[in-house]
Structure 1
């Protein structure tokens, strides 16, 4: 039997801090997500503890009657604790060198390792799940399962976005958000 994991990027938010809420458009997108998941058999929802991630999945959780589990391992990756004027170039470089690390930040490999630990726990069970995270971490997961992803894929992600990752004699990854 296949395990299905739906990897969700949060809806449109007012900013990047952990406490940044969704915009009005983001709340409307969260309702759209709930409609999108209406026919899915979800038994588990695991979310980043960031406000925008929790608010993105709340209508879905209420509709499906599933309690949201918060997991720090799904929090957005910190590229650096210091402001970086050329952060886009540095971010791009971090996809090329997965061990590249900036001051106070986390390498792509470190961030991916924590995200994959969540996925491994889910795929080891028999429940279909939604995992709610952020663009950078999501793109690292996508790159892991689809080697043509990476920095360019990160730039293409929408808010929200949904990928279906299924495990049945291997893995299969597919974008399912419109």
Structure 2
């Protein structure tokens, strides 16, 4: 049996401050915290042996209630963090994101290209399969990371599907 990886996009977070680098400590909003709690029955039903997460607070907070219900720790992996886009949060974020999806080898400034993110996500999926063979893991992460992880796992994702991804969202991949 392959490893089942349950990818969870974080719930609604507070908005980032515009024009300054995003904070790893940006939390979930009150609605996001309620959504994270509401995910517990769905995620517990997968019977995961581990709960992994991006170290960014909003991702951890999304899977933490599930980990607590299962009596498991949340193990953070830096490789699960959001796309290091090289962009500052702005009100016109969609145009540069669309540009990156149209040309995934392009990197903004010193940022990571989407192709590089896909490689990072694929390596993270491979590590999960190696460390948790024949088991299920729940993974808290971020929208762009999840979209590129889906691509790395051989599934379709594009700018429109990434842009439309709800908060939270759940996807399953087998490795």
Instruction: Please give the TM-score of this superposition, normalised by the length of structure 2.
Output: 0.87
Question: Do 1:5 and 1:166's aligned partners in 2 also have CA atoms closer than 8 Å?
Answer: yes
2:141 maps to what in 1?
A: 133
- The residue matched to 1:93 in structure 2 has which SS? helix
Question: Counterparts of 1:1-178 in structure 2 under 5 Å?
Answer: 1-16=1-16, 17-82=23-88, 87-124=93-130, 125-126=132-133, 127-146=135-154, 148-167=156-175
| Cα deviation 1:47-91 (Å, max 9, x = unaligned) | 011111111111000011111111111111122245667532221
Question: Do 2:7 and 2:139's aligned partners in 1 also have CA atoms closer than 8 Å?
Answer: yes
Rounded Cα–Cα distance in structure 2 between residues aligned with 1:65 and 1:83: 36
Structure 1 unaligned blocks of 5 or more: 168-178
Count of matched residue positions in the alignment of Structure 1 and Structure 2? 167
Q: Which has the higher contact order (CA 8 A, sep 6+)?
A: 2
Structure 2 unaligned blocks of 5 or more: 17-22
Question: Do 1:75 and 1:134's aligned partners in 2 also have CA atoms closer than 8 Å?
Answer: yes
Q: CA RMSD in A?
A: 1.8
Rounded Cα–Cα distance in structure 2 between residues aligned with 1:56 and 1:18: 14
1:170 maps to what in 2?
A: none
Question: Do 2:59 and 2:140's aligned partners in 1 also have CA atoms closer than 8 Å?
Answer: yes
| Cα deviation 1:1-47 (Å, max 9, x = unaligned) | 12100000001100243211111111110111112122222011110
Question: Do 2:11 and 2:168's aligned partners in 1 also have CA atoms closer than 8 Å?
Answer: yes
Rounded Cα–Cα distance in structure 2 between residues aligned with 1:83 and 1:22: 17
